[in-house]
């Protein structure tokens, strides 16, 4: 044991941050931190997580309490990382790991490059949209259109993300394209089921999951997390509706103006 009582905060925070950043639930952050703290041998460990920050405190062997706060930001969803951090905390329950060993394991998870390239991710989104188009009652042509539009939308979203744009800009633009393009293609004789195609194109952006998580958090008694996820879900839905409204308006201007 080379760690003194103060250095246990770093692995606890890193684990919490990794779970939160990669889309894990707030209760999982709290549960994992408490489990790790117990495994380190602290009897009194408390953690409180909300989507924008993590609070941890534990009682040291000299009786004083160590507390620290960390700001975090949700980045995206990487379930492999969440699962890996969870596995580390489980392993700590089973065998004695030192502070350095845990830190090394977590750093390795953080540094591990994603297995799928950006192009692969774009293709995955396009594939899923192609599936949704059929699920929403569309045909083969809807499916192909949804594939292409979703591919384009996600590629633009990644490009904007790389340029440091806030995520709502790409949501706005994505829903604009996802509404306008299927309507235009239909107008030009594509013969689409417009509803199904538009729905399929918007599906990757829609905040249904965030909303479901919000209700689950609330049911569990995590009111702050619940309200904060619900707020962000409503904001995303508004952005998509805004983009779709602009898309519809542009379409009406184009067709009403006799251009098409």
Report the interface residues with other proteins, using CB under 8 A: 22-25, 27-28, 31, 77-83, 86, 90, 93, 114-116, 120-121, 124-136, 199, 202-204, 206-209, 211-212, 215-216, 219-220, 233-234, 237-238, 240-242, 244-245
Place of tokens 């259109």: 145
Nearest residue (CB) to other proteins, 10 versus 31: 31
Q: Which residue's CB is nearer to other proteins, number 7 or number 120?
A: 120
C-beta of 24: minimal distance to other proteins in Å? 7
CB 35 within 8 A of CB 92: yes
Comparison of 42 and 132: residue with beta carbon closer to other proteins: 132
Distance between CA atoms of residues 181 and 89, nearest Å: 47
Q: Closest separation between CB of residue 206 and other proteins, Å?
A: 3
Other residues' Cβ atoms within 10 Å of the Cβ of residue 13? 19
Residue 58 to residue 9: CA distance in whole angstroms: 9
Nearest-approach distance from CB 55 to other proteins, in angstroms:
18
Q: Decide whether 9 or 30 has the Cβ nearer to other proteins.
A: 30
**Nearest distance from C-beta of residue 81 to other proteins, angstroms:** 7
């Amino acid at each position: 044991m080379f760690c003194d009582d103060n250095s246990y905060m770093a692995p606890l925070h890193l684990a919490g941050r990794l779970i939160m950043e990669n889309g894990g639930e707030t209760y999982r952050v709290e549960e994992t931190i408490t489990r790790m703290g117990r495994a380190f041998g602290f009897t009194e460990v408390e953690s409180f997580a909300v989507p924008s920050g993590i609070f941890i405190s534990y009682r040291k062997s000299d009786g004083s309490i160590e507390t620290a706060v960390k700001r975090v930001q949700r980045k995206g969803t990487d379930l492999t990382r969440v699962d890996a951090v969870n596995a580390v905390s489980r392993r700590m329950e089973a065998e004695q790991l030192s502070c350095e060993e845990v830190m090394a394991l977590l750093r390795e998870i953080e540094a591990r490059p994603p297995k799928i390239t950006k192009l692969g991710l774009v293709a995955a989104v396009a594939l899923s949209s192609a599936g949704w188009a059929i699920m929403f009652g569309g045909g083969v042509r809807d499916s192909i259109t949804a594939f292409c539009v979703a591919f384009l939308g996600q590629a633009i979203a990644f490009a904007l993300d790389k340029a440091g744009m806030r995520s709502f800009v790409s949501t706005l633009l994505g829903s604009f394209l996802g509404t306008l393009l299927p309507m235009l293609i239909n107008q030009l004789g594509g013969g689409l089921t417009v509803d199904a195609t538009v729905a399929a194109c918007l599906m990757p952006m829609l905040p249904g999951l965030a909303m479901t998580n919000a209700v689950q958090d609330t049911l569990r008694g995590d009111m702050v997390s619940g309200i904060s996820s619900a707020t962000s879900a409503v904001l995303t839905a508004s952005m998509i509706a805004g983009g779709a409204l602009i898309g519809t308006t542009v379409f009406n201007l184009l067709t009403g103006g006799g251009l098409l």
